[in-house]
Amino acid sequence: MADTPIISIKHVTKRYPGVVALDDVSVDIRQGELHSICGENGAGKSTLMKILSGVITEYDGQIEVRGESVNFRGTRDAEACGLSIIHQELNLVEELSAAANVFLGREHTSSLGLLNNRKMNAETSELLKQLECDVHPQAIAGSLRVGDQQLLEIAKALSLNSEILIMDEPTSALTESEVERLYRVIDHLREKGVTILYISHKMDEVFRLSDRITVLRDGKLVKTLEKEETTPREITHLMVGREIEEIDLGDSRQVGDVVLEVNNLSLPWPGHARAWRLKEISFELRRGEILGIAGLMGAGRTELLECLFGASEETPAGKVLLENQLVRFRNPNEAKRAGVAMVTEDRKRLGIFAQMCVRENISMCTLEETVTSGVISRKKEAEIVDDSVARLSVKTAGPESSITSLSGGNQQKTIIGRWLLTKPKVLLLDDPTRGVDVGAKAELYRLMDQLCREGIAIILTSSELPELLTVSDRILVLAEGRMTAEFDRSEASEAAIMEAATESALPHG
């Protein structure tokens, strides 16, 4: 590796109203290395990466690339300098095709100035093939699942042939097999000499991939370490400023009566060879229980929760009983009124209201409870919002702060807070800790445990098997839309779950 750093970050500070996001941060990045940036949500990782990639242009301090001082006026300047970013929150134009997104603003044209779609489709197809992704280049981006959208973002960055690539939580929406696929892509990029800045909360990733690791905490640089000179435990300690204790949820929970019964639930898949996204799923859920749902991308985890919440695109078949009453929700509002709540996996598209403040995002589903004589009582609204912020330890400058000023993990907490205010009997959590740091994950695990002890029943999907094994009382495994296994807490293991998750569904009916 060259002695001169490819990037020098010198005394960079970024302030927002009421928040110092970065405080006098200095760090050098060596050419050709994979340098991980670690820290809790709100530590300043994404802010620093946005400055490097030209997304944020106003800040104090200096950035040098290859020894030259730079002041990017936008992402195009950064890209022209050989630097591009894959954002944690997806930045696709949902109405356009995969290929149109990859070449957005850099479209190939013919000698007559017409779009050369054939060339763009061919190049997109080749890029996706490198990622072992079978998405068609003409597929509409908004129709893709989060995991495929994330791979499309990666293809977009690869198309720039960037010398420096910033990856902000690139595996947050990927399954384990897709993560392994991404590792192979990263290894290939490094062989070509690409320098990679990598943001992740996952210590196994950081220690699998990194040459060096930089830790930020509360906007300040804590330390930069060679991977061989440190351990996951030390990095975690540096991130949070305290030891992360083993997650101990205390005595085993006492589960109660059956609150939800699902019989032969099937979800049609028109036009697809498989015909069904879900086929004949049956299970029971009891009060005070966490039922984990495991499965690879495309197994039907999200679709199962959408069916139970009245949010599926097609009308499901089968029977669902809530407290022994047959229910068939036509929309999420009917589910909410019946006592079913859902926190979606796609926070940006389906979770937050980006134009609204923290207060409005939390009180959105329960405003009727704050109405007096036909008028919203701001005092009542403030009380329930303040209680929610305190209960979930939401880090915010205040309830009037923009929801987009919060870190990803704190945005997730506001969404959970919103749904808890509806006092649900059944809480559906679709990969709720995606993009959430280790400290906040522990808080969310304890919150789930507490809610169960209060009598709420939870169905939890997760791409991380250790998470399911930590908090679930039982785990159901889906593969290609069918249920292939059910495990009690005592008999579940990562190996057994993965075996069931990779089992091809047998032909049936």
**Amino acid at residue number 103:** F
Q: Is residue 1 a part of any domain in this protein?
A: no
Does 359 lie in the same domain as 322?
Answer: no
Whole-angstrom distance, CA of residue 213 vs CA of residue 237:
13
Does 226 lie in the same domain as 335?
Answer: no
Final residue before a domain boundary, out of 205, 240, 275: 240
CA torsion 390-394-399-400 (nearest 10°) is: 170
Does 366 lie in the same domain as 325?
Answer: no
Does 419 lie in the same domain as 293?
Answer: no
pTM of the model: 0.59
Segments of 227-369 assigned E as strands: 258-268, 276-286, 290-294, 317-322, 325-327, 340-343
Q: Is residue 221 a part of any domain in this protein?
A: yes
**pLDDT of the residue at 367:** 67
Higher pLDDT pick, 399 / 428: 428
- Burial 360-392, CB ≥16 within 10 A → b, else e: bbbbbbbeeebeeeeeeeeeebeebbeebbeeb
Query: Does the pLDDT value for residue 172 go beyond 80?
Result: no
Does 191 lie in the same domain as 126?
Answer: yes
Section 420-428 average pLDDT: 88
- Measured from the Cβ of residue 468, the count of other Cβ atoms closer than 10 Å reads 26
Q: Is residue 228 a part of any domain in this protein?
A: yes
Query: Using one digit for the tens of pLDDT, what is the confidence trace for 295-312?
Result: 876 789 999 999 999 998
Query: Does the pLDDT value for residue 328 go beyond 80?
Result: yes
Residue labelled with tokens 């013919």: 110
Structure tokens of 349?
A: 């598209």
Query: Does the pLDDT value for residue 243 go beyond 60?
Result: no
What is the domain range of residue 15?
7-240
Whole-angstrom distance, CA of residue 293 vs CA of residue 251:
23
Whole-angstrom distance, CA of residue 274 vs CA of residue 99:
26
Is 408 within 8 Å of 436 (Cβ atoms)? yes
Sign of CA dihedral 31, 202, 176, 151: negative
Q: Is residue 2 a part of any domain in this protein?
A: no
**pLDDT of the residue at 133:** 83
Confidence of residue 160 (pLDDT cuts 50, 70, 90): confident
Query: What is the count of structural domains for the chain?
Result: 3
Structure tokens of 497?
A: 């779950």
Question: Which of the residue ranges 259-263, 280-284, 451-455 would you say has the lowest mean pLDDT?
Answer: 451-455
Final residue before a domain boundary, out of 240, 266, 293: 240
Query: Using one digit for the tens of pLDDT, what is the confidence trace for 342-391?
Result: 988 766 667 777 777 887 778 776 767 777 777 776 777 777 777 778 87
How much of the chain exceeds pLDDT 90, in percent? Answer: 38
Structure tokens of 374?
A: 């036909």
**pLDDT of the residue at 215:** 92
Q: Is residue 430 a part of any domain in this protein?
A: yes
Query: Does the pLDDT value for residue 245 go beyond 60?
Result: no
Does 145 lie in the same domain as 57?
Answer: yes
Q: Which residues contact 282 (CB under 8 A, 6 or more apart)?
A: 262, 263, 264, 265, 483
DSSP letter, residue 275: -
Confidence of residue 89 (pLDDT cuts 50, 70, 90): low
Higher pLDDT pick, 17 / 183: 183
Whole-angstrom distance, CA of residue 302 vs CA of residue 312:
9
Final residue before a domain boundary, out of 423, 448, 464: 423
Closest by alpha carbon to 70, among 78, 58, 60? 78
Whole-angstrom distance, CA of residue 382 vs CA of residue 347:
24
pLDDT, averaged across the chain: 85
Confidence of residue 153 (pLDDT cuts 50, 70, 90): confident
Residue 80 sits in a domain whose CATH number is: 3.40.50.300
Q: Is residue 394 a part of any domain in this protein?
A: yes
Does 65 lie in the same domain as 13?
Answer: yes
Q: Is residue 447 a part of any domain in this protein?
A: yes
Does 109 lie in the same domain as 153?
Answer: yes
Beta bridge partners of 214: 37, 224
**pLDDT of the residue at 203:** 80
Is 275 within 8 Å of 457 (Cβ atoms)? no
Q: Is residue 135 classed as helix, strand or coil in its secondary structure?
A: coil
Does 463 lie in the same domain as 408?
Answer: no
Does 319 lie in the same domain as 261?
Answer: yes
Give helix 408-420 / helix 438-453 axis angle, nearest 10°: 10
Sign of CA dihedral 110, 115, 119, 124: positive
Query: Does the pLDDT value for residue 244 go beyond 60?
Result: no
Task: Identify the H or E element spanning 427.
Answer: strand 426-430
Sign of CA dihedral 186, 190, 192, 196: positive
Q: Is residue 438 a part of any domain in this protein?
A: yes
Query: Does the pLDDT value for residue 64 go beyond 90?
Result: yes
Residue labelled with tokens 């597929």: 139
Does 128 lie in the same domain as 42?
Answer: yes
Whole-angstrom distance, CA of residue 271 vs CA of residue 273:
7
Structure tokens of 232?
A: 């996951």
Does 294 lie in the same domain as 203?
Answer: no
**pLDDT of the residue at 297:** 67
DSSP H stretches of helix in 218-266: 232-240
Segments of 234-307 assigned E as strands: 258-268, 276-286, 290-294
